[in-house]
Structure 1
Amino acid sequence: MLLKLTGSSGAGKTTLAFAVADRLDGVVVHDFDEVGVPDPPIPPDWRHRTTEVWVRRALEYQARGMDLLLSGNSPLGEVLAAPSAPLLDGIAVCLIDVADQDRRDRLAVRDGGRWDQAATDAFCGWAAWHRGHARDPRFRPDVIIDGSRPEMAWHRWTTWTAGDPRWRTHLIDTSGRSPAASVDQVERWVTEQREAHRSGRLALARGWTDKASRPTDHGA
């Protein structure tokens, strides 16, 4: 299955993913940007093309009996719309978030302080969008759909509502938490999703595109 840590830059998703790698048997960890990032201005469809690359990589691992834990910016809607997504045995997405000031403080010292005020503002805006998207598929879908590749299958989820059990993004807020505590949370989330998959309780198990939309209380 594909386990996706998403969110805007500065929240710690890649650090957490690799920190938990040695704790999980049968899970391989990668970062989305490993395959290369184009120089700015980045084409609007670059993330969509690369999401499909990683979905296909997850399918390769799946065939070998392994799950992929992937960190990167692609939210749930982009993962579900990737052409090959329905072939995955399971999909689970977790939003790694942090308070805006913490994000700004981290970005100020990251990559040699390369991010200016405009860039950090953009990262905070992207983080706010992620929060809205995680709660409700109807929140500004144009942000990821406009300018997209024609093969992206947005119709798979654009009629869903926030009550659809398949629209579930777990939230881990790293604000004020020690790295160790956040790593424990990620490990727990991965373990719970894999167990849900094994027991047939995972909402985004293979066949999710055929399920009728129905409300849920988002319980355990």
Structure 2
Amino acid sequence: MEINKFIDHTILKATATEADIIELCKEAREYEFFSVCVNSGYVPLAKKQLSNSKVKVCAVVGFPLGAMSTEAKVFEAEQALKDGAEEIDMVINIGELKSKNLKKVEDEIAAIKNVIGDKVLKVIIETCYLTPQEIVIASELAVNAKADYVKTSTGFGTDGAKMENIKLMKKAVNGSAKIKASGGIKNLDTALSYIEAGVERIGTSSGVSIVKELKG
């Protein structure tokens, strides 16, 4: 199995330096990961580092809280694409979901999908803050808004990916969107268990050690 092709090689911490981004891209080239996932301000640097490679650049939008205005998220997504991003991982407005302002949540996802067009949109629903019912609703809203993926977590919440939540999401999207697991995926066994459960992308900062474990 080419597990590297499932991996979005990720660095999103506030303290990430230019040198960290350059190293991330170097590793992504070496291990042929699917993409690197970075904060939007680092997209130009990542794009430059990955020129003449097949590794895509993925940018997070509205990260990590999701509580900024829709206009701000739309602008951030547009700018990330201009800077060379090929995929967008956006955070939903969790408070609006919990307030049952469902149309507002769906419209925001749709607005971002509208500006990025045929580029891939992954919707981070931050499962650790949601009830099982809210996980289902959030996944359905993402599908309604034509998102390509539903994603478990930012990695900055109180918890990361969980098998029971992935199963809920998979059932809710019913084949109309793919699933990305992220948050706390640090070893091969965990990554493989999610892939076997139908996950099509893994977000992790442990991609190198996971690949080494597989080869080892």
Q: What TM-score do you get using the length of structure 1 for normalisation?
A: 0.33
Which structure carries more relative contact order (alpha carbon 8 Å, separation 6+)? 1
More strand by share: 2
Q: What TM-score do you get using the length of structure 2 for normalisation?
A: 0.33
